[in-house]
Structure 1
Amino acid sequence: MTTSVVSPTERAWALLEQLSDPEIPVVTLRELGILREVREGAAGLEVVITPTYNGCPAMSQIEDDVKAVLAADGLQATVVTQLAPAWTTDWMSHAAREKLRAYGIAPPHACASEKPGSTNVVHFAARTTRSDAVPCPQCGSANTTEISHFGSTACKALYRCLQCMEPFDYFKPY
């Protein structure tokens, strides 16, 4: 008979899998790519998180949630906020994108860095083509328009579907 020994790092990962984003409760921190690493540091367990953008107001809540879920299972950890490399929507899992769509938030397109032939040039005014259209998460129509570049949070833009006339958030690609 073999006995499986679970390390504190493995225990922490298992506990942290359940934590959802405080602003978008249908997706987990891991699915969004915010939860980056759990490691043994010199002072004990460290959990590394990266904000979706610098100054994200949800980070203090995320840090509190991480500490609370671990403490409830007897684990103590330091939460390390890592700003580099900067978070990108490329870190979102496929499951997160599908959960966003089902929740009524249009998931992000691929980042410019993922597009073939990209030169990683900063564009201050986006050119919209039909292939860049943001499909409505309610009816699927590509006949949509941006109402405001900033939606319910700074990482989302506010759109309206011109087919079903419903407003919706679009998680902007970074």
Structure 2
Amino acid sequence: MLLLDVDGVINSYPGPGNGARSGVEVYRPRDEDGVEWTVWVEPEVRGWLAELADTFGIVWCTTWRNANEAISPLVGLPTDLPQILLPVRGRGEPFWFCWKTPQVRRWAAGTRVTRFAWIDDEVSDADVDALSEPWLAGRLPGKRWEWTIQHTPAIRRDDLMLVRTRPQVGMTERQVGDLLEWGRHG
């Protein structure tokens, strides 16, 4: 499985005050509330996603709750991909790992997925710890996310590959190559 974020991975922000780079495709999809957003997609992304989809089952892990309708058609992915439904951002999660991580761990336990890659602009080594270490459970008593960490099985470190992108660049050829290598030989 490959958990796929949109903003900062597929949608490469041009950065404050900068326009889109030459050759970048610019789209204006609407989110589930009908709000129009600008999405910048590098020309190579469509082909990279096709390669990744040939190797992995793709699962949306994004705040775009309508990613299948709004994003999939723009980048050539099927419009019926599974999606991890994320809570409203930043509601009491600790600062040392990505706010999506408790829900990802809950998803993995609920679907019995024990091996996956995740590409996102907010993941770090701390997320590998939060996904693979049961001991994190007692660190901050009383937090809502703690139950998830404590009551869901840990994933073996060898069965995780987390790739952090730079939001102004999005996914790169090297990152895609690393994911493909891991997916094919892991």
Measured against the shorter chain, the TM-score band is under 0.3
TM-score (norm 2): 0.26
Structure with higher Rg: it is: 1
TM-score (norm 1): 0.27
Whichever structure has more strand as a proportion of its residues is: 1
Higher relative contact order (CA 8 A, sep 6+): 2
